């Protein structure tokens, strides 16, 4: 950009905060930040100042400066004054960039400059969007008129040198970046944003895999409020992308996850994708990215900074970078204030839930196995299916045709804690739900969808669970027998209740997030 000159006005007497330009914001002075930003675009930089101290900073940066201690530049005359000072400069285009908007970085300036080049007859000026709603009264009735309003942000002007026309064209700055330091509160907000790190979650979710990884990662993301969160998904996981987008997180669907992550230049990547491979993790590390993996037994664990296998109480691999077992299990947010059960002799309700997708349709298998006894004893059946459940039509036909109607079906997994508060026993797959059930003191019959789930050993008799192993053609009769024993044998159920009530996971998430953030 040899044809461009960046002019930084640094008028000490105009500062909103004493010595604002030479005060350190997150370790770097405002004027030095502005010089650094300008240097990423061009070597043609001019600082205009009334301060000997600022001119010395310019000199030490080998940046040209214009010093006049009598300078009187303000918002109303800045263009006129700057144009007069630079009129004899050889550069064709001028970027007037102010140091008091430190979040407007070189990428924004480059993008704005390209916009300016489309029509150089205008002065391109930075603006920020204002959320306004106008109320208009007509015939004693109120009409709401929503419009887009913009306020000039004193970040930059871009104009053609020696252009005498005063015609403005707006360039909109994102809300987060459009903070102008006018008081100490603005200063504090800018510093907090500058101190933020970028954290990328790489997650999976599908009918075959289930949605547990999505809910787990979202729960962790909700706990991280001081840093930027971005989700990245392989474009094949449409269910995952849709779910994350509903939570208002930025989510990127991509055919090349590794390249997308590296291009984002995150400080840390959290992989919740099951087994990782060594090459993928090595490539992240080569780009100075910290790596945290969940539920990972793949070759990538060798190079990861931290591997958290909370569903495996027995270590499966050796290494100093592992955390194993239920002490690192993070519950979803909805369970933080849920009321745990106290023991009761009578069973009035039962929960059936087999994950977001339930690829084996264990929901219907279980329902058919227990409905006769439930009807006989008038036990209410709560059924919770996820958004990826593909047997919806078959299940609903069965429910409509059966005579027993004390059954409640929902696909809203976000109310799981509320339903668990009302159920004394449950049926579940062998994933993260078993820990939610344990936390709620609910003895549960567990059936694994596949061998990997069956490797999760927390759900056993000593902890209050009846584990039927991996689903097969004998499972249906086992379900009936174990359900009958749970319902009718109070002594047996009380032993399970006492076993399960020893466990609570409500403090784990904070501990887990601290472990992750220690890496950055």
- Stronger pLDDT, 31 or 246, i.e. the higher one: 31
Which is higher by pLDDT, 87 or 364? 364
**What DSSP line would sit under 426-456, residue for residue?**
EEE-SSTHHHHHHHTT--EEEEESSHHHHT-
Domain ranges of the chain: 4-194, 196-330+512-517, 336-500
Provide the mean pLDDT of the chain.
91
Tokens of 186: 């603005």
Provide the pLDDT confidence category of residue 514 given band limits of 50, 70 and 90.
very high
H or E element, residue 150: strand 141-160
Q: Give me the mean pLDDT over the 49-72 stretch.
A: 94
List CB contacts of 308: < 8 A, sequence separation 6 or more.
292, 293, 294, 295, 322, 323, 328, 512, 515
Is the pLDDT at 35 greater than 90? The verdict is: yes
Model confidence over 412-447: pLDDT tens digits?
A: 767 899 999 999 999 999 988 999 999 999 999 999
Q: Kindly give the pairing relationship between strand 290-294 and strand 322-324.
A: unpaired
Distance, in Å, from the CA atom of 201 to the CA atom of 220, rounded to the nearest integer, reads: 10
Do domains 4-194 and 196-330+512-517 share one topology? The answer is no
Residue 26 has pLDDT above 90, yes or no: yes
In the structure encoding, which two tokens stand for residue 212, read together?
Answer: 């547990």
pLDDT in tens, 311-362: 888 899 999 999 999 999 998 888 989 999 999 999 999 999 998 788 899 9
In angstroms, the CA 261 to CA 284 distance is 8
- For 385-402, what is the mean pLDDT? 91
pLDDT value of residue 149? 78
pTM for the predicted model, two decimal places: 0.75
pLDDT (mean) for 275-283: 96
Stated as kind and residue range, the H or E segment containing 82 is: helix 78-86
User: Can you give the pLDDT at residue 137?
Assistant: 60
- CATH code of domain 196-330+512-517: 3.40.50.11190
d(CA 492, CA 489): 5
- The residue with tokens 């995150």 is 266
Helices (H), 205-338: 212-223, 238-246, 257-264, 278-286
What pLDDT, on a 0 to 100 scale, did the predictor assign at position 356? 75
Residues 255-280 have a mean pLDDT of 96
CATH superfamily of 336-500: Glycogen Phosphorylase B; (3.40.50.2000)
Average pLDDT rounded to a whole number, residues 189-195 = 93
Q: Which pLDDT tens digit goes with each residue over 146-164?
A: 566 788 899 999 999 887 7
Residue 237 above 60 pLDDT?
A: yes
Most confident of 10-19, 161-170, 459-468: 459-468
If you average pLDDT over residues 493-498, what whole number do you get? 96
Q: Please answer whether residues 469 and 448 qualify as being in contact, where contact means their C-beta atoms are separated by less than 8 angstroms.
A: yes
| CATH top-level class of 4-194 | alpha beta
């Amino acid at each position: 950009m040899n044809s461009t000159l960046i002019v930084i006005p640094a008028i000490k007497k105009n500062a909103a905060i004493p010595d604002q330009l030479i005060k350190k914001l997150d370790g770097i002075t405002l004027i030095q930040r502005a010089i650094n930003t300008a240097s990423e675009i061009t070597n043609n930089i001019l600082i205009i100042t009334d301060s000997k101290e600022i001119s010395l900073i310019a000199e030490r940066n080998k940046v040209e400066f214009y010093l006049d201690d009598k300078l009187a530049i303000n918002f109303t005359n800045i263009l006129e004054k700057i144009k007069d000072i630079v009129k004899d400069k050889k550069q064709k285009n001028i970027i007037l960039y102010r140091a008091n908007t430190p979040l407007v970085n070189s990428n924004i300036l480059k993008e704005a400059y390209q916009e300016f080049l489309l029509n150089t007859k205008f002065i391109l000026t930075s603006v920020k969007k204002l959320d306004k709603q106008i109320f208009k009264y007509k015939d004693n009735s109120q009409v709401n008129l929503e419009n887009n309003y913009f306020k000039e942000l004193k970040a930059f002007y871009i104009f053609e040198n020696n252009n005498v026309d005063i015609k403005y064209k707006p360039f909109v700055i994102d809300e987060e970046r459009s903070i102008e330091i006018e008081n100490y509160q603005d200063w504090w907000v800018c510093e907090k944003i500058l101190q933020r790190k970028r954290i990328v979650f790489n997650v999976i979710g599908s009918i075959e895999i289930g949605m547990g990884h999505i809910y787990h990662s979202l729960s962790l993301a909700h706990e991280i409020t001081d840093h930027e969160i971005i989700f990245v998904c392989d474009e094949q996981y449409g269910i995952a992308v849709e779910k994350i987008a509903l939570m208002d997180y930025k989510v990127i669907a991509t055919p090349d996850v590794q390249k997308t992550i590296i291009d984002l230049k995150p400080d840390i990547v959290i992989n919740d994708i099951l087994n990782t491979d060594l090459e993928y993790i090595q490539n992240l590390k080569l780009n100075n990215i910290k790596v945290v993996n969940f539920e990972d037994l793949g070759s990538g664990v060798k190079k990861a900074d931290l591997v958290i296998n909370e569903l495996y109480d027995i270590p499966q691999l050796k290494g100093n970078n592992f955390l194993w077992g239920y002490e690192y299990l993070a519950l979803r947010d909805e369970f933080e204030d849920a009321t745990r059960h106290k023991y009761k002799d009578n069973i009035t309700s039962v929960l059936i839930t087999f994950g977001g997708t339930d690829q084996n349709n264990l929901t219907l298998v279980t329902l058919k196995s227990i409905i006769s006894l439930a009807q006989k004893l008038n036990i209410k059946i709560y059924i919770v299916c996820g958004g990826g459940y593909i047997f919806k039509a078959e299940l609903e036909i069965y429910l409509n045709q059966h005579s027993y109607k004390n059954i409640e079906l929902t696909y809203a997994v976000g109310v799981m804690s509320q339903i668990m508060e009302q159920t004394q026993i449950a049926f579940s797959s062998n994933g993260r739900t078993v820990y939610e059930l344990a936390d709620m003191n609910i003895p549960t019959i567990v059936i694994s969808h596949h061998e990997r789930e069956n490797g999760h050993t927390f759900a056993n008799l000593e902890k209050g669970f009846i584990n039927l192993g991996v689903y097969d053609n004998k499972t249906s009769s086992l379900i009936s027998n174990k359900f009958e024993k749970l319902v009718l044998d109070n002594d047996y159920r009380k032993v399970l209740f006492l076993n399960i009530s020893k466990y609570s996971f409500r403090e784990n998430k904070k501990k887990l997030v601290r472990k992750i953030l220690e890496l950055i």
